[in-house]
Amino acid sequence: MRKEPIIIGNWKMHKTPAEAVAFIESLECKAHLAVPFPALQAAAQAASRKGIEIGAQNLCEHSAGAFTGEVSADMIVACGASFVLVGHSERRHVYGESDELISAKLKQAIQAKLTPVLCIGETLSERELDKTEEVLKRQLSLGLEGVSGPFMIAYEPVWAIGTGKSASAQMAEQAHVAIRRFLGNKDVPILYGGSVNPSNAQELLKQDNIDGALVGGASLDVKTFTSIIRG
């Protein structure tokens, strides 16, 4: 039998601690939520009674030291979080994070027993040049270099994030098959992200190699997010 899909809400830079708690209190199903740092502790406390997992959206590649403005894996764990997004497209493209930096972050997360969700995906021009698989392979091999420990993958084509233009289920499945082949490991959950909403979620989640979804905009409203989870 297929496992239940893993649905992660990525709130990005939305919701204060009070708003996060109110959302969690009204959510009546299992989910994962990647919340802003200031909301981590309050969200984790509210979630602990409800089978909801809380995670961060980023972490520092170092464990401690003179890194003004950064947040370590241990600090995130101490807030009650169980997972962390690493290498999200906005980190790569807005903040210039390299595959090497992302790999260092992954290792920090694993050392702290925080499950990293490695986000990968091609840009529109890379897809048009037929370089999707090459890009995914590069992001996986550099990102996972020297990494051992449980992790998840989120395939998020850059052109599908926040645009309302999700990849078709076939297109996403094809990329997931390539990722699975590259990983050579059936136990790594591979989530799809990029404009997932209540109308396209079920078709995407029906695919054999799509184990869940990373949901941005549609995770900010309890009703919309619930209808994605409940199907």
The residues that are catalytic are 88, 156
Exposure of 117 in the CB half-sphere (CA atoms within 13 A)? 31
Query: Per-residue x/- marks for ligand PGA, 195-224, CB under 6 A?
Result: xx-----------------xxxxx------
CA angle 181, 179, 184 (to 5 degrees): 35
Judge whether 218 and 185 are in contact, CB under 8 Å: no
- Kindly tell me which of 44 and 218 has the beta carbon lying closer to ligand PGA: 218
Nearer to ligand PGA, 13 or 66 (CB): 13
Rg (CA), the chain: 16
121 token code pair: 């995906």
- When binding is defined by CB under 6 A, the residue of 61, 194, 200, 211 that contacts ligand PGA is 194
What is the C-alpha separation between 128 and 135, in angstroms, rounded?
12
Structure tokens at 184: 């050579």
- 121 near ligand PGA, rule: CB under 6 A: no
Report how far apart, in Å, the C-alpha atoms of 134 and of each of 122, 140, 175 are: 9, 10, 11
Q: Which of 35, 44, 161, 167 binds ligand PGA (CB under 6 A)?
A: 161
The gap between the terminal CA atoms of the chain, to the nearest Å, is 18
By C-beta, is 11 or 43 nearer to ligand PGA? Answer: 11
Residue 156 binds to ligand PGA (criterion: CB under 6 A): yes
Binding to ligand PGA by CB under 6 A, coded x per residue (else -) over 85-104, reads --------------------
Residue 193 CB, shortest distance to ligand PGA, in Å, is: 4
Interface residues toward ligand PGA, by CB under 6 A: 10, 156, 161-162, 193-196, 214-218
